[in-house]
Structure 1
Amino acid sequence: MRQARCTLVLAALVLGLTAAPTFAERNLVPTLERRFTVCPDRPAEPVWMQEIPLRQAYQRVLVQDIYRAQNLERVVEIGNCDCATRFPSWDAAEAVFRERYANDERWEMLEASDAYNRRANAARTAAKAICDAAGNW
C-alpha cells in the first residue's frame, strides 16, 4: 500500500513537471517580426542581406559584425548613445563590406568576422556603460 502511494505521488510529480512546459509553449506565438524595446525605429537590414541564400549567409554575418563593431566603437568615441548613433543606417557597414570583402573567399570573410567581433567585444563594456546611462541598452 505504501509503495503504491509513493509510486502514485511520484507519477503525479513527474506528470506535473512535464506538463507545465506544454501549457507555457501553447502561449508562445512565433513571429518573424522583430520588435525592439530599445530604439524600436532602428533601420532594417538591407534587402539583399535578408534575401541572401543560406550557403552565403557568412556574407550577411560579416556585414552584421562590421555594423556592430562600427556602432559600438562610435558610441565610445563620441560618448553618446542616442538611437541614431547606436543604430545608424547600414550604409557604412555595407560600404566596408563591398570595398574590402565582397570578392573574398569564404574563409577570409570568416576571419574578418572574427576580427570585427573582437573589436566589438573590446568596445562593448564602455559602450554599455554609456548606453545604460542613456537608457538605450
Structure 2
Amino acid sequence: MRQAQHLALAALALSLKPTFAVAERNLVPTLERSFDVCSDRHAEPIWMQEIPLRQAYQRVLVQDIYRAQNLERVVEIGNCDCATRFPSWDAAEAMFRESYASDERWEMLEASEGYNRRANAARTAAKAICDAAGNW
C-alpha cells in the first residue's frame, strides 16, 4: 500500500513538471520601476539602493520616514498632487541623518515602528484625498 502511494505521488509530480516549467518561464523579473500613479517619482538616494543587506534596516527607516512625512503632508494641506505625495527624498534623508544615523539597530527599528504608526494614522484621511485626486 505504501509503495503504491509513493508511486502515485511520483507519477503526479512528473505529470505536473511541465506545468511548473511553463509557469516558471512566464515569471520574468524586471528591475524597471513602474507605477500606476505618479509614474515620474523621485528615485531613492543611491546610497539606499546600494546599502549592504546587513544594514537594510537603515533603508527601511528612511522609507518609513518618507511615507509618514508624505501622508501627513497630504492630510495637512489637503492636496494629493504628485509633488506632494511623492516629493524628493531630501527631507526624509535629512531627518534620518540628523536624528538616527548614529543610532543602534534596535533604536532604528523602534523609530521605524513609530513612523509606521504615524503613517497608518494618516493613511485613511490621505487615501480619501488622494482617491479624489486620482493619485492612490
CA-CA distance at 1:22 after TM superposition? 4.7
2-structure distance, mates of 1:77, 1:22: 51
Q: Which whole-Å deviations, capped at 9, do the CAs of 1:30-70 have from their partners, x for residues lacking one?
A: 11111111101000000000111111110000000000000
Normalising to structure 1: TM-score of the pair?
Answer: 0.84
Alignment match, 2:44: 45
RMSD: 1.9
TM-superposed deviation, 1:82: 0.5
Structure 1 outlier segments of 4+, above 4 Å: 18-22
Q: How does 1:1-137 map to 2 (within 5 A)?
A: 22-137=21-136
TM-score, structure 2 as length reference: 0.84
Helix, strand or coil: the match of 2:93?
helix
* C-alpha distance after superposition, 1:87-118 (max 9, x if no partner): 00000000100000010010000000000000
Which ranges of structure 1 fall in alignment gaps of 5 or more residues? 1-10
- Identity, % of aligned pairs? 85
2:8 aligned partner:
none
Identify unmatched segments of 5+ residues in structure 2: 1-10
